[in-house]
Amino acid sequence: MFRLIKGQQQAHRVLTQLINEGKAGQSYLFYGPAGVGKLATALEFAKIINCKHPDSGADETCPSCHKIDSFSHPDVNLIFPTPKFEVSDVGEYKKKEEQQQVQAYIEQLKLTPFERMQFGKATAIHIDKIRMIERKLRYRPNEGNYRVVIVVQAEEMTIQAANAFLKTLEEPPSYAAIILTTTNYSRLLPTIISRCQKVRFKAIPSKTIEEHLIQHYYIEPTLARISARIANGSMAKAIQLSKTDFIEARKMTLDIIDALMNDNLATIHRIAKNFANNHNEELLKDILDFLAIWFDDVCRYTHGSETISNIDHEEKLQEFLDMHQISDRIIQNIVLLLEESKRMISGHVHHELILINTYYELRKRLHSRGIFL
Q: Which long-range contacts (CB under 8 A, 24 or more apart) does 328-336 make?
A: 328/299, 328/302, 329/372, 329/373, 330/365, 330/366, 330/368, 330/372, 330/373, 331/295, 331/296, 331/298, 331/299, 333/365, 333/372, 334/295, 334/362, 334/365, 335/292, 335/295, 335/296
Question: Cα 256 vs. chain centroid, distance in angstroms?
Answer: 28
- Per the CB < 8 A criterion, the answer to whether 45 and 5 are in contact is no
157 near Zn ion, judged by CB under 5 A? no
3 vs 367, beta carbon nearer Zn ion:
3
14 vs 62, beta carbon nearer Zn ion:
62
Q: In this chain, which stretch among 62-70, 77-85, 223-231, 309-317 interacts with Zn ion, using CB under 5 A?
A: 62-70
How many other β-carbons are positioned within 10 Å of the β-carbon of residue 43? 24
51 vs 133, beta carbon nearer Zn ion:
51
296 near Zn ion, judged by CB under 5 A? no
69 near Zn ion, judged by CB under 5 A? no
CB of 247 to Zn ion, least distance (A): 39
65 near Zn ion, judged by CB under 5 A? yes
CB of 65 to Zn ion, least distance (A): 3
CB of 133 to Zn ion, least distance (A): 24
Phi then psi for residue 31, to 5 deg, are -125, 155
- The one among 18, 29, 40, 51 contacting Zn ion by CB under 5 A: 51
Q: In this structure, what DSSP letter does residue 156 have?
A: G
Q: In this structure, what DSSP letter does residue 126 have?
A: -
141 vs 233, beta carbon nearer Zn ion:
141
Report the C-alpha dihedral over residues 168, 15, 17, 71, rounded to 10 degrees: 80
The size of the interface with Zn ion (CB under 5 A), counted in residues, is 5
CA–CA dist 264, 355 (Å, integer): 15
- The one among 16, 26, 34, 59 contacting Zn ion by CB under 5 A: 59
Q: In this chain, which stretch among 46-54, 130-138, 212-220, 229-237 interacts with Zn ion, using CB under 5 A?
A: 46-54
CA–CA dist 198, 31 (Å, integer): 7
CB of 54 to Zn ion, least distance (A): 7
Q: In this chain, which stretch among 43-51, 104-112, 309-317, 355-363 interacts with Zn ion, using CB under 5 A?
A: 43-51
- The one among 4, 14, 62, 254 contacting Zn ion by CB under 5 A: 62
4 near Zn ion, judged by CB under 5 A? no
Catalog residues that contact Zn ion under the rule CB under 5 A. 51, 58-59, 62, 65
